[in-house]
Chain A
Amino acid sequence: MAALKTKKAAPAADQKSRRDFIVVATYSMGAVGAGAFAWPLIDQMNPAADTLALASIEVDVSKIAEGQSITLKWRGKPVFIRHRTKTEIDEALRDDALNMRDPQVDSDRVQKPEYLVVLGVCTHLGCVPLGQKVGEVRGEYDGWFCPCHGSHYDSSGRIRKGPAPTNLEIPPYAFLSDEVIKIG
């Protein structure tokens, strides 16, 4: 605005700057209005209220036998809950001290050592790793194996081998009682 004013320095300079002010104010109000109108158009693509309402699930883990795993759907993604055997827990604890890509001790990854709750989504490019069902490949570390690009996870869901950058993610969850977990 100042630049315009000096460029057109003339007897009418005073009037000119007033007009400039109106022009700038008009454009500003227009921009504010356009922004206010644009926001609903953008925000409608965010999760709707009913989608958010489905964002938590409850599950009774007492029915999972030792050594068995179940797969649940939470927010459209698989959640693995494994009732770990003594051997699996020991393996995980034993490896705590090893040098890993994404170092984390097993006790930081579980609330109760028997139950491991992880998102069944490979941290590489989002495939679902194998190892939930009896007879499926579990990888070299007694955990999960992602068939897409060969990532091996251990019995604590930590990345041990392959291209994935981080451990299997732990969803937010809490034990509502000894037997019921609320995920989300």
Chain B
Amino acid sequence: MSANQFKNPVVRWIDHRLPIFSFLNHEATEYPTPKNLNYFWNFGSLAGISLVIMIITGIVLSMNYTAHVDYAFDSVERIMRDVNHGWLLRYIHMNGASFFFIVVFIHIFRGLYYGSYKAPRELLWMLGVVILLLMMATAFMGYVLPWGQMSFWGATVITNLFSALPFVGEGIVTWLWGGFSVDNPTLNRFFSLHYLLPFVIVGVVILHLVALHRFGSNNPLGIDTRGPQDTIPFHPYYTIKDFFGLSVFLTFFAAAVFFFPNFMGHPDNYIPANALQTPAHIVPEWYFLPFYAILRAVPDKLGGVLAMFGAIAVLFILPWLDSSPVRSGRFRPIFKIFFWVFFADCLVLGYIGAMPAEGIYVVIGRVATVWYFLHFLLILPILSVAETPRPLPQSISTPIFGGAGAMAGAAAAPKRKVE
């Protein structure tokens, strides 16, 4: 880690005074990473890249956007028709939001399955939940900006959630609106915050990374690394793996942008906002659907709102709800089953969120909502004590008892010499 490891004298001079190169070398190049990470570990870097793509395209879009109720819709149409490459930038930004959520949801389920939230990574996990909340707020406010019908009524419905709070509710909603309905002041503040929050997310992402690098990545076996034989340097092994994953991700992303740009959107949002008429079938963007289903499942205004926010809040205390010492779902046969049931439950909630709130859908929605909370509040605590986990391997280098262990260790050693 000494400064004289750099050949370039300018780099050495700077590094002696400002150890930025040593820092990068330590955290991005040498950074010892478990050697057994699978492709689910790509999604952290993919999320980071998605954030960067959103910020870059967002900054250039804002150069062409007008945050005023009389001009917003037309300015977006101008971006689509007249601004050079405007259609491309907007479709990247619009689909980028969906892809960002896809990546982050996979990242979260990865953490849930492999127990990445457990000690000593509780704060890392909680910072991740903060990022999710910020993302949801940012995405919601961004969706309001084109000022179409869905923008307007989405803003109306979501801000009205706060009116459920006793005593202060109405006051809060008026404060959020800056008037007596969603109108120009609302649009202006949403634009301001939509520009601000991504940079707040960047800040929390940095904290997320600091917390990650304190103990390093979890891994599919969920056991701690026990020394150099269990790790490989991040560069070039995981940079190249991340780049490969990125190219696959960008292939899907580009396919959506160029061939199905409006697949994940709503046609109603190409109708200018009309404060006097609500669209017949109003649903949020797909990434909010499970939470929307939970909101509607509770037949009480305040209860629904609390349940919806509770669905996120329960993630904050997850590290203490699941107290099993075994991290990875691989060695927890019963947990594994419940994990997949929970996964299916989330998909069902997403489906129900997209359906009208009537008939059988209401019943299914309620069952799925109850199961969502049961999983966290009852099943996980019980499994923590009741389940007998399968025996854990001694180390990452010896995943199978005896046998292949020595060979894996031998294979790892020369790899490090190459580096």
Contacts and interface: CB of A to CB of B under 8 A. Distances in A.
Contacts of B84: 40, 43-44, 46, 48-49
Given A40-B88, A41-B89, A49 B82 contact: yes
B82 A44 contact: no
B56 interface: yes
Contacts of A40: 84-85, 88-89
B56 A41 contact: yes
Interface in A28-80: 39-41, 43-46, 48-51
B81 interface: yes
Contacts of A39: 85
* Interface magnitude class on chain B: 10 to 19
Contacts of B85: 39-40, 43-44
Contacts of A49: 81-84
Nearest to B83: A48
B82 to A, nearest CB: 4
Contacts of B88: 40
A63 to B, nearest CB: 33
B64 A44 contact: yes
Contact of B60 (A41, A48, A50, A51): A41
B89 A44 contact: yes
Contacts of A50: 78, 81-82
Nearest to B61: A44
A48 B78 contact: yes
Contacts of B83: 44, 48-49
Most buried by A among B78, B81, B82: B82
A35 to B, nearest CB: 14
Interface in B85-121: 85-86, 88-89
Interface in B47-63: 56-57, 60, 63
A44 B90 CA distance: 11
Interface string B386-411: 00000000000000000000000000
Contacts of B81: 49-50
A44 B86 contact: yes
A43 to B, nearest CB: 4
Nearest to B57: A41
Contacts of A41: 56-57, 60, 89
Nearest to B250: A33
B106 to A, nearest CB: 24
A13 to B, nearest CB: 16
A48 B84 CA distance: 6
Contact of B82 (A43, A45, A48): A48
A2 B86 CA distance: 43
A45 B57 CA distance: 13
A171 to B, nearest CB: 23
B256 to A, nearest CB: 16
B62 to A, nearest CB: 11
A131 B121 CA distance: 75
Nearest to B64: A44
Nearest to A49: B82
A85 to B, nearest CB: 43
A44 B60 contact: yes
Contacts of B64: 44, 48
Contacts of B78: 48, 50
B89 A48 contact: no
A45 B89 contact: no
Interface in B221-272: none
A175 B57 CA distance: 44
A19 B60 CA distance: 38
B63 A48 contact: no
A46 B60 CA distance: 12
Interface string A130-152: 00000000000000000000000
B55 to A, nearest CB: 12
Contacts of B56: 41
Contacts of A46: 84
Contacts of B60: 41, 44-45
Nearest to B86: A44
A75 to B, nearest CB: 16
Interface string A109-131: 00000000000000000000000
Interface in B140-171: none
Interface of A: 39-41, 43-46, 48-51
Given A40-B84, A48-B86, 11 more contacts: A41-B57, A41-B60, A43-B85, A44-B60, A44-B64, A44-B86, A45-B63, A48-B78, A48-B84, A50-B78, A51-B82
A-B pairs with the 5 shortest C-beta distances?
Answer: A40-B85, A49-B82, A48-B82, A50-B82, A43-B84
13 contacts: A40-B85, A40-B88, A40-B89, A41-B56, A41-B57, A41-B60, A44-B89, A48-B64, A48-B84, A48-B86, A49-B84, A50-B82, A51-B82
